């Protein structure tokens, strides 16, 4: 089906082709006229400098580039900068971040961070803020499921990061659950229910926990919408703290097992942030090059600028360095007094009459030669 955009592109190319043909014809006629006076314009060689030989073709191509750029900008629809236009990609095909957040009392223990002076929840907040700073949040919706003795959805498909920041704060969400052991798999089951109707491979599952009292069996099956899984561990994996009469620390082995069974990766975020490579792999983010981000509008602007610059600067360059031939009077220093005049073969060499004003017998030398000769009468 032929669209208006395709018609506009064809019209721009047709305009450029017409300008190219006309410019080439004009350059051909100009070249024929220049050939008649080539000796006057370029000297005995009858041709310009080597670099100036493709100048006619450059002028024709530059004119065609300017025509294509202007025609393309004329037929392209104007770019709208509005809130609705910015939200369009996010509404049509959003990406999802589904976070399963451990809110058990053990997450409030202070043993996290590089110096061990942060609570595990505070460390989780710092890590996830850094995480969301590096994801395409404009096209992402976030859902949070709180986990303790059960699982409760806190927010579904929000695009407001301040809501997520508030959830990751010091909200005592463990009071919404009955006291008991951490049922992390209940949160995974709830996540599977929330994500089952989303587009396939559109969701990144992020599990944030210290791994405390996580069972080794009962892993739920994730739907097709889950693209990657990232398990983030917080808390000191070595020392730990006591809570409720038992020793609590980050259970690295269990969290690694959960990541492996979910087909994801584990990251110990107690001291280090989540790597950018892990985020790119989780969201399938490809770093585009400069030319890959250019659209027809940018290419039209580039063609218009380069073509106009070439048309403006090429005549000046041809005037200054188009040929080495310089017709007209020579400077006196070339063949006058400095070269073969008084300095070279004048008074200093053989006198003015030697090479400057005539033969050897027409100057003072001839007077000197006549001195010994006397008239016949005197002799």
Do 138 and 252 lie in a common domain?
Answer: yes
Which one of 269, 286, 303 terminates a domain?
A: 286
Least confident range from 50-54, 69-73, 289-293: namely 289-293
pLDDT value at 195 more than 50: yes
Report if residue 250 sits inside a domain.
Answer: yes
Report if residue 141 sits inside a domain.
Answer: yes
Report if residue 355 sits inside a domain.
Answer: no
Report if residue 86 sits inside a domain.
Answer: no
Query: What is the CA 66 to chain-centroid distance, rounded?
Result: 25
Task: Work out the pLDDT band at 364, boundaries 50, 70, 90.
Answer: very low
CB 20 within 8 Å of CB 63: yes
Which one of 304, 321, 338 terminates a domain?
A: 321
Mean of all residue pLDDT scores within the chain = 78
The pLDDT value given to residue 25: 95
Do 36 and 172 lie in a common domain?
Answer: no
Please count the structural domains in the chain.
2
What sign does the CA torsion over 262, 264, 265, 266 have?
Answer: negative
The pLDDT value given to residue 66: 94
**Cα dihedral value 253, 255, 261, 263, nearest 10:** -120
Do 157 and 252 lie in a common domain?
Answer: yes
**Cα dihedral value 183, 187, 188, 189, nearest 10:** 100
Residue 101 bridge partners (DSSP): 146, 208
Report if residue 300 sits inside a domain.
Answer: yes
CB 182 within 8 Å of CB 243: no
pLDDT value at 88 more than 50: no
pLDDT digits (tens, 9 = 90+) for 61-80: 999 999 999 999 888 876 65
DSSP symbols for 83-150: HHHHHHHHHHS-EEEEEEEE-SGGGG-EEESSSS-EEHHHHHHHHHHHHHHTS-GGGEEEEEEEESSS
Do 67 and 142 lie in a common domain?
Answer: no
**In 3-state terms, what secondary structure has residue 36?**
helix
CB 241 within 8 Å of CB 109: yes
Contacts of 158 (CB under 8 A, 6+ apart): 141, 142, 143, 164
Backbone angles phi, psi at 209, to 5 degrees: -160, 165
- Residue range of the domain that includes 228: 91-286
**In 3-state terms, what secondary structure has residue 232?**
strand
Do 298 and 214 lie in a common domain?
Answer: no
The predicted model scores a pTM of 0.54
CB 166 within 8 Å of CB 101: no
Do 298 and 278 lie in a common domain?
Answer: no
Return the CATH number at 180. Answer: 3.40.50.410
Which one of 239, 260, 286 terminates a domain?
A: 286
Distance CA 102, CA 149 (A): 10
Task: Work out the pLDDT band at 379, boundaries 50, 70, 90.
Answer: very low
Do 147 and 275 lie in a common domain?
Answer: yes
Do 158 and 10 lie in a common domain?
Answer: no
Do 108 and 162 lie in a common domain?
Answer: yes
Report if residue 174 sits inside a domain.
Answer: yes
Report if residue 334 sits inside a domain.
Answer: no
Report if residue 367 sits inside a domain.
Answer: no
- Residue 216 parent element (H or E): none
Task: Work out the pLDDT band at 329, boundaries 50, 70, 90.
Answer: low
Do 65 and 114 lie in a common domain?
Answer: no
Do 305 and 235 lie in a common domain?
Answer: no
Contacts of 296 (CB under 8 A, 6+ apart): 9, 72, 76
Distance CA 111, CA 234 (A): 9
Do 177 and 67 lie in a common domain?
Answer: no
Residue 68 burial class via C-beta count within 10 angstroms: exposed 0-12, middle 13-18, buried 19 and up: buried
């Amino acid at each position: 089906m032929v669209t208006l955009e395709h018609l506009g592109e064809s019209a721009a190319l047709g305009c450029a082709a017409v300008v190219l043909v006309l410019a080439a014809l004009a350059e051909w006629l100009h070249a024929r006229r220049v050939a008649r006076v080539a000796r006057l314009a370029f000297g005995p060689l009858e041709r310009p400098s080597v670099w100036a030989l493709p100048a006619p073709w450059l002028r024709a191509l530059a004119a065609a580039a300017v025509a294509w750029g202007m025609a393309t900008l004329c037929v392209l629809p104007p770019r709208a900068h509005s809130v609705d236009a910015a939200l369009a990609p996010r509404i049509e095909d959003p990406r999802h971040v589904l976070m399963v957040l451990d809110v058990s009392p053990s997450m409030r223990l202070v043993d996290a961070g590089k110096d061990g002076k942060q609570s595990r929840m505070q460390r989780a907040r710092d890590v996830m803020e850094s995480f969301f700073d590096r994801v395409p949040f404009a096209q992402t919706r976030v859902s949070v499921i709180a986990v303790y003795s059960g699982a409760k959805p806190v927010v579904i498909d929000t695009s407001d990061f301040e809501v997520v920041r508030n959830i990751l704060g010091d909200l005592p969400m463990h009071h919404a659950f009955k006291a008991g052991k951490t049922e992390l798999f209940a949160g995974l089951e709830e996540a599977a229910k929330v994500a089952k109707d989303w587009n396939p491979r559109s969701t990144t599952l992020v599990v944030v926990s210290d791994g405390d009292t996580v069972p080794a069996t009962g892993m739920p099956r994730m739907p097709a919408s889950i693209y990657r899984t990232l398990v983030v561990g917080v808390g000191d994996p070595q020392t730990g703290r006591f809570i409720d009469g038992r020793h609590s620390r980050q259970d690295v082995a269990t969290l690694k097992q959960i990541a492996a069974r979910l087909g994801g990766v584990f990251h110990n975020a107690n001291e280090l942030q989540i790597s950018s490579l892990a985020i790119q792999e989780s969201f399938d983010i490809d770093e585009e090059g400069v030319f890959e981000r250019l659209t027809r509008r940018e290419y039209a602007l580039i063609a218009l600028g380069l073509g106009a610059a070439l048309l403006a600067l090429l005549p000046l360059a041809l005037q200054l360095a188009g040929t080495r031939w310089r017709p007209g009077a020579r400077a006196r220093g070339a063949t006058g007094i400095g070269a073969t005049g008084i300095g070279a073969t004048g008074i200093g060499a053989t006198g003015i009459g030697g090479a400057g004003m005539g033969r050897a017998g027409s100057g003072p030398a001839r007077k000197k030669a006549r001195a010994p000769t006397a008239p016949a009468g005197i002799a």
